[in-house]
Structures are given as structure tokens and as C-alpha cells.
Amino acid sequence: MDSESPFLVTGQQDGASPSPPSSATAAAEDDYEANSDINILKMQMMLSWADREKNDLEIVIQALKTENSALKAQFRDSKMDEHTAAQGLQEENTALKALIRELEDNEAGETLKLQMENLSLKANIQRSQAGETAAVERLQEQNDRLKASFLDLQKRNEELLIEQASLKEGLRKAESRSEFASDTLKMAHELQERVEKFRGKNSELTEKNYRLEHKHLENLKAAQESQKAIDLLVAENEQKEQEVQDMRSKLKTARTIHAQIGPNKQALSDLQEKLDAAEKDRNRHKSDHEKLLQTWTKFMTEHQQLLHGKTALTAQQAASSTQISSLKNEVSTMRNNENHINQQNARLKTSIAHAITCLDLIYHGHRVFTCKHNPLDRLPDGKKSTFEFRAKDVAHTLFNEWSPEKEFDMEYQRQRQSILDHHLAHERADPGRGAWAASMKSSFISLDSGRNIKCNYS
């Protein structure tokens, strides 16, 4: 395996001549024994790995055997199911054959019956053909008369198609305006809801501001009381300090007297005790003063925070009031626009309804009275003239009523141009019975001139 293998060492020693034992030989024997132990350990480890792999392979083989047994059982079950299904199909096939034979017998009887009915129907048809020939001739004559009437009606209908298209477009615009008015009303309601929300929020801010002001006044009152207590403690502290100074002065005087007249330990001890008590009292008042000072500082900090909060709430309340005013103005503007649109929509519907009524009278050729009076029972004397509406008069009336609207003038030209473009597209392919687009354009220009409007048609 490597240069340190004992077999290689043995091979080298076989070809060498015997030599006397020495220290080098002893070292070589020790190395040989050490290498032998290492090689034995390596072989043992390799055997252990081989045993482990063998166990793993045995486990895998056992699992494969189990799976193979399950597959064999499944295969046996599937063969039994196939045999059962084959028997069922064979039984169904036998039943179907019997049913087919029965249907064939019934079909023969039905065929004979149908043949008899067919002969009877042929006889009835031959008898009815003679009577139908005369009826067909009468229907042909009636059809000719209807065709002539239909051509007249078609000619009159073509004259009204353009006006009808214009009225439909006007109705479409009215519906779109109505939808716009509905959207505007919805937006106005949404803005009103926003205004109510802002009002509620403003009320909440006002209530919060009131609570903060109340708390601010309470804190201010507590701070004033704390300031009074601090001033009182400061005065007491100064008084105690003065007493301590007096005690020290007395103690100094006593010490001087003691030095002059001799030791007086009892008096000195009393003065020392009084001095210690005065210092303790002074320290206690000083500690209370510091605590009150901290409390007062805390109250002043909260007071400043409340002032800042009040300022912020006041600014927020002012902004909410400004926004509410702006929303109210928007709602008012939208309501005015909605009222204007509703008025225009009602006027447009009235115009369309009147034009449709006039076109119906034109279609049937009815004449109407031209006088105007209200109430209806007060008929003017001698005024019984009648008038037959014309499509041209209806178109002029609609145009004069809506021409002041800028949007109407733009839509007027767009509709006429759209009809010309559509007609020209058919004319290039196959004009049929339609009029020439150039003739229609000339008619439009002539009518526009009489209405004092200039349209540029391409």
C-alpha cells in the first residue's frame, strides 16, 4: 500500500545478507511492529465498513422482496378483476343482442305503418294543391299591392332616417348627461359624508382640548401650591441655617470661655448635642426642599407639554375648519352644476319628445291647428288654420333651440361628418340605391348656410 508496508520491508530484507544485530536493526524492528499494528487497525476498519454495507444491502434486499410480494398480490387481484369484468361485458353483450332483435321486429311494423300514412298524406296533398293554386294567385296580387305600398313607405322612411339618427344621438347625450348628473350627486353625497366626519373629528378635538385645558389648570394650581410650599421650606431652611450659625457661634464662645475659665464638659456636650440636632433638622428640611423642587420641575415639564399639545390641537382644529369650509364650497358648486344639468336634461327631453311627436305626425300626414291658447276651452274666434309639419321645420326648431350650446355645435358637425364618411365608404365599394355622398354634402352645406353655421366637411 505505501513505502512503510511490512511486505515491502520483508522483500528488501530477503535479498540482503545476514548482519549482526545492532541499534539500527532494533529500531527497524520497532518500526515494523508499529506499522503492522497500523495496518491491522486499517484492515479492521475496512472489515467493519464492509459489514455495515452488507447489513445495508440486506435491508434493501428485504424491502425489495416485500415490495415484490405486494406487486405479485396486486397483479393476482387485477387478473381476477379483469376476469370478472370480462364476464360482465359478455352478459351485457348478450342482453344487447336480444334488445337489437326486438328493435328490428318493432322497426318492421313501424315501417309498414309509416308507408300507409305516407300514401294517405300524398292523396291529401294532391287534393289540396288544386285549392292552393287559386289562393297563391290571390296572395300574389295582394303581395304586389303591398310591395307598392312598401316602396312608398320606404321612400318616406328614408327622409326621416337622418332626423331619427340625430334625435337618437340627442337622447344618448341626454342619457350621458343624466349619468354625469347621477355621478355628481353621488360625489356630493360623499363630500357631505366627509364634511360630517370632519365635524365629528372637530368635536372630538374640541372635547380633547377642553380636557387638556382642565388638566392644565389643575397642574398649574398644583404647581402654585408646590411653589408656596417650596418658599415656605426655603424660609424655614434659612431660619434653621441661622440657628445653626448661632449654635456654632455659641459653641465657639463656649470653647473660648472653656479655655479661659477651665473645662466645662457638660455645657460643651449640651451645646454639641443641640448643634447636631439643629444640623439634622436642617438636613431634613433641605431634603424636603429638594423633593419639592423635583416635584415642581415635573409639574412645569407637564405644563409645557400640555401647552404644546393645546397649540397643536388648536392648529389641527383650524385646519379641519378650513377643510370643512372648502368641502362645503365644493358641495355647493356641485349642487349648482347638478341643478343646471338637470334643467338642461329636462329641457332636452322635452325637445326630443316634441320632435318625435312631430315626426310621427309627418309620417302619417296629419295636419294640426297652429293657434296657441290656454285654457283649451277658450278658442279664438276665426282662427282655425291648420299646418302640416315638415321634417325640415322640426330640424330647424331643434337646431335653433340648442345652437347656443357650444358642445351642440361640435356634436352637430361631428354627426354630419360621420354620416358622410360612412356613406362614402359604401359608395366606393358598391353604391347600390344610395344617394351620392357629394350630393349629401351639398345638401348639408345648403342647410348650414340657412342656419348661419359654417361646417368644414372633408
Domain regions of the chain by residue span: 403-458
Residue 292 is predicted with a pLDDT of 74
Q: CA–CA separation, 426 vs 449, rounded Å? A: 27
25-44: burial string, b at 16+ Cβ within 10 Å, e else? eeeeeeeeeebeeebeeeee
Residue-by-residue DSSP string for 144-198:
HHHHHHHHHHHHHHHHHHHHHHHHHHHHHHHHHHHHHHHHHHHHHHHHHHHHHHH
| Cβ neighbours of residue 156 closer than 8 Å, sequence gap 6 or more | 363
- Cα first-last separation, the chain: 103
Q: Contact 449/421 with Cβ under 8 angstroms? A: no
pLDDT interval class at 6 (50, 70, 90): very low
Q: CA–CA separation, 378 vs 226, rounded Å? A: 96
Q: Contact 310/212 with Cβ under 8 angstroms? A: yes
- Classify 307 in phi/psi space as left (phi over 0), alpha (psi -120 to 50) or beta: alpha
Q: Taking the CA atoms of 209, 214, 215 and 216 in sequence, report the sign of the dihedral they define.
A: positive
| Cβ neighbours of residue 436 closer than 8 Å, sequence gap 6 or more | 427
* Region 71-86 average pLDDT: 69
CA dihedral (292, 293, 299, 303) in degrees, to 10, reads: 150
Q: CA–CA separation, 376 vs 387, rounded Å? A: 18
In degrees and rounded to multiples of 5, residue 281 shows phi and psi of -65, -40
Residue 70 is predicted with a pLDDT of 74
Q: CA–CA separation, 251 vs 386, rounded Å? A: 139
Residue 165 is predicted with a pLDDT of 62
Per-residue pLDDT of 284-322, as tens digits, reads 777 777 777 777 777 777 777 777 777 777 777 777 777
Per-residue pLDDT of 219-266, as tens digits, reads 667 767 767 777 776 777 677 677 767 777 766 776 666 565 555 566
Residue 307 is predicted with a pLDDT of 76
Q: Contact 378/214 with Cβ under 8 angstroms? A: no
* Region 373-395 average pLDDT: 74
The one-letter amino acid at 178: S
Residue 17 is predicted with a pLDDT of 44
Lowest mean pLDDT among 213-222, 361-370, 429-438: 213-222
Q: Let me know if 412 is exposed, middle or buried by CB neighbors in 10 A (0-12, 13-18, 19+).
A: buried
Q: CA–CA separation, 180 vs 170, rounded Å? A: 15
Longest dimension (CA), the chain: 177
- Proportion of the chain above pLDDT 90, given as a percent: 0
Q: CA–CA separation, 165 vs 355, rounded Å? A: 12
Q: Contact 368/361 with Cβ under 8 angstroms? A: yes
**Closest to 118 measured CA to CA, from 129, 128, 110, 108:** 110
pLDDT greater than 70 at residue 355? yes
Best mean pLDDT range from 46-50, 147-151, 356-360: 356-360
Q: CA–CA separation, 309 vs 305, rounded Å? A: 6
- Which DSSP symbol is given to 434? S
More confident residue, 426 or 266: 426
Q: CA–CA separation, 70 vs 68, rounded Å? A: 5
